[in-house]
Amino acid sequence: MNIGSAAKASGVSAKMIRHYEGIGLLPQAGRSDTGYRQYGEKDLRTLQFIRRSRDLGFSLGEIQGLLGLWQDRARPSREVKALAERHLEFLDRKLDELQSMKNALSHLVSCCHGDERPDCPILESLSGENGSTGLGGHGGR
Amino acid sequence: MNIGSAAKASGVSAKMIRHYEGIGLLPQAGRSDTGYRQYGEKDLRTLQFIRRSRDLGFSLGEIQGLLGLWQDRARPSREVKALAERHLEFLDRKLDELQSMKNALSHLVSCCHGDERPDCPILESLSGENGSTGLGGHGGR
DNA sequence: ATGGAGCTTCCCATGATGGGAAGGTCAAGC
DNA sequence: GCTTGACCTTCCCATCATGGGAAGCTCCAT
């Protein structure tokens, strides 16, 4: 199976498959006589594993860890769970961050009449003429 | 005022101030005789405007738009609101995406006993031995 | 044999940010 | 006055995951 079919079957683009191989996330693929990468069932399962992990937001580094555990039949599930929990905390932090932005911004939006007149609480808040918008002081990333 | 003080006072790093100038988000800063960038009150207000916008998650492109509207005293607030609403939709999409990840992953985590034994529903789900974890088929980012 | 689809490698771009090197400048203390 | 250390300058490189595109080779069907 060539890289294009593997890409279609796994949902990982050919570009990314090559990249994953380049950074050592995937082993070197076998090659045909003419240098085409060749993929089999086992490779497909690995590619799908990676795609599902990406769908859950795991970084490629974390996926390297997951792949290692997956391939180690003696892994303690404790380790998998720990890795997943760390990622869960990451997701929680991101969610909080986005939710705060959303709260602050949707408040501002609801205060802006949005017509032809120039006065605008959104711009006022951004320029610091701020009454109390929920925008704290420093503290961004 | 040199760039370091402007950075401290605005909450935007010196590195980023130079970068914003480089991409045209900020006008060329005035220079001292010896080539040091000089900043005044007005520049500080602009830098703070940018920082607050970043804190709400606006991209630098969007901030360019916001700055333009801010500096245009004849802007219709309608335009500011539209820009903000577009960003709110973006935040909503991101939130949904993260929330789905969190839901799927926290379900898996709660199913994993996390002890010394190797069997693990997290890995099973990632490898596709999947019963019904909420992980849909293709459809990533 | 020809054409088009698919493969190869290589380089570059994105977006926001930071790290660090090499060298010039400023101000305080001796 | 000279030294020292903090600060500034520009320039290049890295991150993270992904994609675009060029130049050139291969494969298969007509």
CATH label of the domain that carries residue A13:
1.10.1660.10
DSSP state for residue B56 in the 8-state scheme: T
Nearest protein residue to the C1' atom of C9, measured from CA: A18
A53 and A7 inside one domain: yes
Closest CA to A25 of A51, A56, A55, A7: A51
Query: What pLDDT was estimated at residue B135?
Result: 45
Total residues belonging to chain B: 141
Query: Can you count the helices (H) and strands (E) in chain A?
Result: 6, 2
Domain that holds residue B129: 86-141
Return the structure tokens found at B40: 């005044």
Q: What is the total residue count of chain A?
A: 141
- Which of chain A's residues have a Cβ under 8 Å away from the Cβ of B123? 66, 69-70, 75, 80
Q: What percent of chain B has pLDDT over 70?
A: 91
Q: Do both A122 and A82 map to the same domain?
A: yes
Q: What is the pLDDT of residue A42?
A: 95
Using the Cβ of A117 and the Cβ atoms of chain B, whether some distance falls under 8 Å is answered with yes
Dihedral angle sign, alpha carbons of residues A65, A71, A74, A76: positive
CB atoms closer than 10 angstroms to residue B27 = 10
Please indicate, yes or no, whether residues B99 and B140 belong to a single structural domain of this protein.
yes
Confidence check: pLDDT of A136 > 90:
no
A5 touches strand C (CB under 7 A): yes
pLDDT tens per residue, range A1-46:
999 999 999 999 999 999 999 999 999 999 999 999 999 999 999 9
Clarify whether residues A53 and A85 are in a common domain: no
Structural domains of chain A, count: 2
Q: Residues B66-86: pLDDT tens digits?
A: 999 999 999 999 999 999 999
List bases, strand C, within 7 Å of protein CB: 6-9, 15-19, 24-26
- If you average pLDDT over every residue of chain B, what do you get? 91
- At B9, list the tokens: 């006072």
Of A12, A29, A57, which one is at a domain's C-terminal end?
A: A57
